[in-house]
Chains A and B, each alone.
Chain A
Amino acid sequence: MTTTDTTRTGQTVRSIAYYRTPLPFGTLLRAHLRIWRAQRGVLIGGLVAMGAGVIGLIAATASLTGRVTAADVATHFGGFPVLAFSLIWLAVGGIAGASPFKSGWAPVVLTVAPRRGRWLTACLTSFLLLTLAVAVAFDLLAALVTAVVLATKGQGLGPVSGLVKPALAIVLLVLIQAGVGFLLGAASRSVTAAIIIGYVVAPIIPAAKIGSVDLGRWLDLEGALTAVSSGHPSGGALAAAMTAILLWIGGPAVIAWSRLRKSIA
């Protein structure tokens, strides 16, 4: 093996040192964005979320009667539409996180890009980028719908500003849910397990108590997400919400990484 680049049958043959350097993260991201386009489960999940969100928007629009203020917009769009759009993202994340192992594409990627931690990070990041894009698209759609409603009522666009908080809350909420779902899927390597943990186990956990210690408060993912989507958690509530989110991200991440180090099958 050579130590410098040479040519072999007209092709550049890289030195061994070249192969020590990891693939640029951007290359990994681009490849994974291509992969997500091919993974039907993630695509369908995104479309279902969007569909549910649109139903929520229609319901919110129908309930806007009389003169509309920014506070009305914040209340109506921050309620049902946010819930409808964000509900499915834990499952979509679970599908995405389990797919490299269930669909068998992890070995296809890792035989070319062998750094496993980097791969998992790129996998998660690219999925979150797509999630972000869908969430932003939904926010823009909500703004458009609001503008149309206001125009039909002969009002100015001022009340659209009421969407800023719900819009930011949607992005944050969806990213957290998608991320937690992804890590649950990657840790369990099973969509079913990720869905059961996310939608059944997580809501039960807040009831957990050891003696007089209220452990559930610090593990309450649903409560934390509600706090995030409602806007301004503070003090003890903020600490509990942050702890719950970090535990729900950190725990599955550690398990996913540990399993990945041992095997990819």
Chain B
Amino acid sequence: MTRKMFVAVALVALVGTRAFAEIDLSGSWQSINHEDALERGAGPNPDDWAGLPFNESGRAKALSFSQSIISMPERTCWFQTQWHIAAGPFSLRMWAVPDPITGKVQAWMVGAWETRAPMTIWMDGRPHPSKNAPHDQTGFTTGVWNGNELIATTTHLKTGYMRRNGAASSDQATITTHFRRHGDLLTLTLIMEDPVYLTEPYILTRSYNLATNPVAIGGPPCIVGDEGVESGRVPHYLPGKNPFVDEMMKRYGIPSDAAMGGAETMYPEYRDKIKAAFKRPEKCTINCG
């Protein structure tokens, strides 16, 4: 076979394969923050972990959390792993990085949300590194196509957060992100598994509109700063000393047991358990929209 012939056949094969193996996700995607609007915007209420499938360790870790901890220079950027896509309010920009020789997509980039580095989704079949390889906040992500669905798997994360009120994820967490597009609407389903802090996978979904205004690539980075916390002090609450455990009852009449989370709080039967204890306030007084 001549070289020309080989190239032609390879090109036809490549075009044919790509035509029914993927969908274009590139563009600027404006975040639609209609669900979990408070959690993603201003931030969740203190000690509100309802619907989060914590185990005892996860709950204990969260109860020890003091918001002042992020004033420590070494923890200023602590919480922003790739889960920030789900927990923050930010829009996305996606683009494909082609292999310079074959033109095949080598990686998808998901970037442009404040304080985070873009996520690189490697599409070239490379394996994840050894479990002993360094972990960082970006982690290591590979992707595969399932028809029109892009499935990305992220490992090698540092400890981060699941909610911005102290619910932590461990460095053993895995995030699976499903990208599905319907015309100008993009839906992400993010599934976190964490053998250290969760009893079941934690699932969140987020939606985006295709935007004509470009989302900036590489928002301002998380910058470590000295906010005056004296050296050696780690802001925290000792067991039994967290002052916010009744906050959801005070604000919304939601029993503290429900606010403490756990897998049972995710399912319909749990409503029967809290029905008698729930006290609906006459009027919303805080974070009402």
Real binding pair: no
- The residues of A with any CB-CB pair to B shorter than 8 Å are none
- The residues of B with any CB-CB pair to A shorter than 8 Å are none
